[in-house]
Structure formats: structure tokens, C-alpha cells
Amino acid sequence: MGTYTLTLEAGAERLETTVRVDVDPRVDVGATEFRARYQFLTEVNALRARLQRAVNRADSLERDSKKISEFLATDDDEEDDDDDAKDVRAALADLAKDVASAKEPLAGTRSFRDPTLSTRASRMFTELSGDGVRQGTLHGPTELQRARLSQLNVETDKAIAELEATINMSVPEINRMLKEKGPLQLK
């Protein structure tokens, strides 16, 4: 569906030609179906990217919390600072636990029958595009698939909002505690 330029380079030689690609006449799918399919898959990929960004943020926060906690555990030199360091480490441990819990619906370790949002989005993508085993379809999404994507977006918004609320509730207080201990900060 379009005109393309093909280029072949080998050493100093370069060959170039233009080709026109048309839809296989045996395929009974029009341009509207192709566009609908493309738009739907683009929307699913955007959802998958949002989920991955949220999971990456949670993972980064968990990693940073662990590193700071380990640093504070080795930095307990002064006796009066021990209680402060223990309080910060306890707050970091609570944060890591809360973030892991909030991250669970996004990309946790759920079962096949109770998939995470990331798994559901990936399955939705392969329904149309296919995978290594199953062929996809060239047709656009069904109304049911559109409804499922809409519901998945609603659930994703809710899960990401819960993760952000968890982070926004704990991180400022932990950063205040860390500021008193030195230059460490969570992002």
C-alpha cells in the first residue's frame, strides 16, 4: 500500500529501484479496516508504554530506596544518629512494600487466570497482530475489543493513580528525613 524505494549497497556499489506495493487482491480487507487495525494497535502500544513507564518508576524507586537504606545501615557511626537512621530505613522499607503492592496490578506476579494489566495489554495486541505461533488478522478491532481496551485504560489510570498517590504520600516525608541526614534524595 504505497510506493517505496529499495536500496542495496555492497562495497562501493549501490543499486536502487522503486516498487509499488498493493494489497493482495485475494484479501478482502479495505483501507478503512487497515487504518482501524493500525489505530487500535497504536493505542494498545501507547497503553503498554504507559504501563512500562509506571513500572520503571516503581522499580527505580524500589532500587533507590534499597541503596539508600543499605548506605544508612553502614553509616551508623554516631550513636545519636542511630535512631534517625533506623527511622529513615523503616520509612524506606514501608515505601518499598507499599510501592511493590501498588505495582502488583501493573506488572506483578499474578496467575494466568488473574493477569496483570501489562499482560492483558500484551494479549490484546497479539489478538490482532499475532505472535510467534498464531497468525494475526488484517481486520480492524471488534466492538468487544474496543470496549476491552477502554476498560483496560480505565483500570490502568486507576492503578497508576494509586501508585502515584503512594509515592506522593511517602517520598516528600522521606526526603525531609534524608535531608536532615545528608544530601541523599529519592526521585
Confidence at residue 77, expressed as pLDDT on a 0 to 100 scale: 53
Provide, rounded to the nearest whole percent, the portion of the chain with pLDDT above 90.
60
- Reported as a single tens digit per residue, the pLDDT across 128-184 is 998 878 888 888 999 999 999 999 999 999 999 999 999 999 999 998 888 887 766
Contact (CB, 8 A) for 148 and 87 = no
Provide, rounded to the nearest whole percent, the portion of the chain with pLDDT above 70.
92
Confidence at residue 183, expressed as pLDDT on a 0 to 100 scale: 65
Average pLDDT of the chain? 88
Burial 37-68 (b: 16+ CB within 10 A, else e): beebbebbeebbebbeebbebbeebbebbeeb
Helix (H, G, I), strand (E, B) or coil at 151: helix
pTM of the model: 0.78
Domain parsing of the chain, residue ranges: 29-181
Confidence at residue 2, expressed as pLDDT on a 0 to 100 scale: 87
